[in-house]
Structure 1
Amino acid sequence: MKNFNSKITLNLDSDAEVSVKGFIAPIEYTQRDYHVDWDELANLKAAEPEKQYPASVFQAFLPSEPVSVGECWQIEEEAALTLLRQLSPCPQLELEIGGADSYGLWACLRAYNDAFAEIMFRIHAEFVLEKGWFAPSQFAGYMVIDRLEKKVVSFKMYVPDATLNFDVRWRIFGDERRAADIGFCPQMELCAGAKDVLQDAKFAEAITEEEALHTLMLCFYKSAQINWVSLEKALELAPALQKPIHAISSGGPLADESC
């Protein structure tokens, strides 16, 4: 990825407000049918379908110092928790399911011009339920800022689509024993503002969405620093590079928490 030297400051008008809508669609699948047998999963829905927030909540997603494209910074915890409570009353960042090594709230400047700036972010969090825990694979997202008006013009925080995109633990046998399951929820998101604001935008400096996502992933997982290749490719490269093959078989994804 190209290195950028120019740095910009990102600020919001402190008097502005942002209206955010929250959505949780019915869970479509769990491996052990917990979404059928467990009432909390069967009836999971957004705690508040719509809510107004002060700009300070979104300012906490922005860096405190000037940054360049591709640079990452940590999001303030309380701001992320404030937004997540719109989906479920008891979010937490210290994961019961994922473990301490999965902790993190990171953002990255993806692109900017004189009028707009876009940041992308990734948050690991889970919801404490009455009888267990619900852990999405991740909360991905982006925020587009009008640099002239200093306002949020587009925002989305969501659980990415995947074959399986959440884990649960159900205290079905009491506090001492927890049953585990994994499943798919087609929509869990918070959104605000207009869509496709940057559809025809030309940027002064930018990286691709894929590069930004990879940069964020590196903030969470050391395994992402490895240049993984298929077994077929490894068999081709090993004799040419005169290196041994280290083969790893994984039963789940290495790049999110739905495993």
Structure 2
Amino acid sequence: MGRTRPGERGPAGPGPAAPPAPPPRRARVLALLGALLAAAAAAAAARAFARYSEAQAAARQDSALKTLGTEGLFLFSSLDADRDMYISPEEFKPIAEKLTGSTPTASYEEEELPPDPSEETLTIEARFQPLLPESMTKSKDGFLGVSRLALSGLRNWTTAALPSAVFAARHFRPFLPPRGHVELGEPWWIIPSELSVFTGYLSNNRFYPPPPKGKEVIIHRLLSMFHPRPFVKTRFAPQGAVACLTAISDFYYTVMFRIHAEFQLSEPPDFPFWFSPGQFTGHVILSKDATHVRDFRLFVPNHRSLNVDMEWLYGASEGSNMEVDIGYIPQMELEALGPSVPSVILDEDGNLIDSRLPSGEPLQFVFEEIQWQQELSWEEAARRLEVAMYPFKKVTYLPFTEAFEQAKAKNKLVHSILLWGALDDQSC
């Protein structure tokens, strides 16, 4: 073997592999073109499938229209919640219950819990005076095509569906403030609004409310005392329920709330008739663990001359066949007859005590006086809930004459708004 001299290189060893030669430009262009063609073909296939699906849906709707007629298709569509042109057993359930006269099975979460004989209960009474027909400004019989049939659901609603009902104190747990909301007047949502001025509104063509879930359950049960078909969420924004604390003690809260809900007064084959009070407001005084309710009241404010919006269809088209009016309802109120009390009374040894005295009179409970440490006025709490529902109310709105005085003092212009109803509730 020869030696390598200084300055000379030895035999070349195995070096790093040479990088592969780049594909020809034509091959790269063809590959890119192929990918684009494949994507275009997939998009075209998707569009074709969508057109096919739309055509099938249109064909089914056309067939249904020929079979059922306009009014029949309208009724069918009111039950077809997912708009797939098929009525599922769940969608048909309200009609089946109507035809068979069966009572809808309860799906309320709190009713699934076994009753606790030691828990406290309270009785709530409904007070209801029907809407005054003379307060409806344009919907007199024979005017604008309004008929007695169109208003039959309203005319027949003269009493509360359930004059009184017993609730467990724990049913009011959803009114407790969430963690972190223990400041007076700080609003929180019991039922958040799912709509805004940008998301439109829900369909008018519905008869039966969806099953309530979670915190909706107690509000649905309370409103069902007025009428069997309450919609906990309104068709228009702002929906839901908002609350805030107005008083705090060592063991109790006073919670003020505002609820936007409405009722469907008609059932098939009549057309839908929507009854939308301006708002439900009220308060509940309850212990911090929701085992005791000291007081409860819910009502539609009646201090304004108009406090209910009504909208109803008189044909199969939602847009062109709808009438609207506003009216006044004198009383729509729920109130607890007294604080919650134990269902059974036990002595110190756990033995059952007779709830009646030897004279036959029921035992009288003595409740301690609540010492409130912090309190907020009803007016200020109502204003804060109003702003939560309607953020534009952050601006101060003044009566007509006061506005001019303020404008003159501040050298500003006046922005005047004239309405048929109220801008800050659901009656307008």
Q: How many residues align?
A: 240
Structure with greater Cα Rg: 2
More strand as a share of residues? 1
Q: What is the aligned counterpart of 1:27 among 123, 131, 139? A: 131
Match in the other structure for 2:337: 193
Q: What is the match of residue 218 of structure 1? A: 387
CA contact (8 A) 2:311 2:322 kept: yes
| Contact kept in structure 1, 2:224 and 2:230, CA below 8 Å | yes
Can you list the C-alpha shifts for 1:33-92, whole angstroms capped at 9, x where unaligned?
Answer: 479932221221322112222333210111232512112222222321222122212211
Is 1:110 paired with 2:246? yes
What is residue 419 of structure 2 aligned with on the other side? 250
* TM-score after normalising by structure 2: 0.50
Q: What is the distance in 1 between the residues matched to 2:297 and 2:276?
A: 19
1:42 counterpart = 2:145: no
Tell me the secondary structure at the aligned position of residue 110 of structure 1: strand
Contact between 1:223 and 1:254, CA under 8 Å: does it hold in 2? no
Which residue is 2:295 aligned to? 154
Query: 2:32 maps to what in 1?
Result: none
- Tell me the residue number matched to 1:183: 327
What is the 5 A alignment of 1:24-173?
A: 24-29=128-133, 30-31=136-137, 32-33=139-140, 37=148, 38-44=151-157, 45-65=159-179, 67-75=182-190, 76-96=215-235, 99=236, 101-114=237-250, 116-130=252-266, 131-146=272-287, 150-161=291-302, 162-173=304-315
Partners in 2 of 1:240 and 1:181 — Cα distance?
A: 39
* 2: CA distance, partners of 1:231 / 1:19: 44
Query: 1:216-259: per-residue Cα shift (whole Å, max 9, x none)?
Result: 10111022111123455444444654544434333331221112
Q: Is the 8 A contact 1:69 1:111 kept in 2?
A: yes
Unaligned runs of 5+ in 1: 1-12
1:174-228 Cα shifts (integer Å, max 9, x gaps): 5541222211111112221339xxxx97631111000010011011102211112
Write the distance in 2 (CA, Å) between the matches of 1:136 and 1:175. Answer: 24
Distance 1:236 1:134, change over 3 A: closer
The CA RMSD over aligned residues, in Å, is 2.9
Letter in 2 for 1:151: H
Q: Is the 8 A contact 1:137 1:165 kept in 2?
A: yes
Letter of the 1:165 partner, please give it: N
Alignment pair present for 1:16 and 2:127:
no
AA aligned to 1:220 is: M
Structure 1 contact 111–119 (Cα < 8 Å) conserved? yes
Q: How big is the shift at 1:134? A: 0.7
Per the alignment, in what secondary structure is the counterpart of residue 242 of structure 2? strand
TM-score under structure 1 length normalisation: 0.80
Q: CA deviation at 1:155?
A: 0.6
- CA 1:250–1:113 in 2, change beyond 3 Å: closer, same or farther? same
Q: Hey, what's the Cα distance between the residues in 2 that align with 1:106 and 1:126?
A: 16
Select the structure that is richer in helix: 2
In the superposition, relative to structure 1, how do residues 21 and 230 fare at CA in structure 2: closer, same or farther (>3 Å)?
closer
- Alpha carbons 1:22, 1:191 under 8 Å: kept: yes
In structure 1, what is the Cα distance between the partners aligned to 2:228 and 2:309? 18
Provide closer, same or farther for how the CA distance between residues 251 and 118 of structure 1 changes in structure 2, counting only shifts above 3 A: same
Q: Secondary structure at the match of 1:41?
A: helix
**Partner amino acid, structure 1, of 2:187:** C
Distance 2:334 2:403 in 1: 41
Question: For residues 33 and 57 of structure 1, what CA distance do their matches in structure 2 show?
Answer: 42
Helix, strand or coil for the counterpart of 2:175? coil
Query: Post-superposition shift, 1:105?
Result: 0.4
Q: Kindly indicate whether the alpha-carbon contact (under 8 Å) linking 1:152 and 1:193 is maintained by their aligned counterparts in 2.
A: no
Flag the 1:68–1:36 CA change in 2: closer, same or farther, 3 A.
farther
Deviates more, 1:112-121 or 1:211-220: 112-121
Aligned equivalent of 1:206, options 375, 383, 386: 375
Question: For the structure 1 residues 85 and 230, does the alpha-carbon distance in structure 2 shift closer, same or farther, using more than 3 Å as the test?
Answer: closer
Distance 1:231 1:22 in 2: 37
Could you say if the C-alpha distance between residues 153 and 36 of structure 1 is closer, same or farther in structure 2, counting changes exceeding 3 Å? farther
Shift of 1:142: 0.6
